[in-house]
Amino acid sequence: MIFGNRNHISEFSFLEDSVKECFTYAKEHDLASYEKGSHEIDGERLFVNIVEYETTTPENRFWEAHKEYLDVHVMLSGQEQIDLNFIGNMELKEYVPKDDFLPMDGEKNGSVILRPGDFLVCYPNDAHRTAVEVEGAEKVKKAIFKVRI
């Protein structure tokens, strides 16, 4: 996992070109004006999901990871905590290939707080639990780029 802010993207020159492409796209498009849902960028290789939801307690959320896509979370408005661990530390459940969804149970090893402009890149071994409230429930809007591995 890689945590940072788009204002300092030049510090992340080591990122894969496909991940850098997400930040270029975000810079050139007003993602905050996008409607909720999935938006194609380059077919199944790269697309962005725009999500809006209310943050809540960790007990109301679920753990996940993905095998076919990297997640590049880019916060547009609001703030959320994302809890993190490695899938090797978790109790894995049955993978759902059609949704590229690996559910699991376990405890967090750490967490980050995403605020507008912040990003988090999650790789296949990165378990993540999103939409956790920071200072109480709050509405957030976020872009989640899906980058085929």
DSSP state of 27: H
- DSSP per residue, 7-31: GGGGGGTTS-HHHHHHHHHHHHS-G
Q: Is 49 exposed, middle or buried (0-12, 13-18, 19+ CB in 10 A)?
A: middle
Domain with residues 2-148, CATH architecture: Sandwich (2.60)
Q: Is the pTM of this model over 0.75?
A: yes
Residue type, 138: E
Tell me the domain boundaries of the chain: 2-148
Query: What is d(CA 129, CA 17) in angstroms, rounded to the nearest whole number?
Result: 26
pLDDT in tens, the chain (149 residues): 999 999 898 899 999 999 999 999 999 999 999 999 999 999 999 999 999 999 999 999 999 999 999 999 999 999 999 999 999 999 999 999 999 999 999 999 999 999 999 999 999 999 999 999 999 999 999 999 999 99
Q: Token digits for 66?
A: 């993905």
> What sign results for the dihedral spanned by CA atoms 21, 26, 28, 31?
positive
Helix-strand-coil split of the chain, %, nearest 5:
20, 50, 30
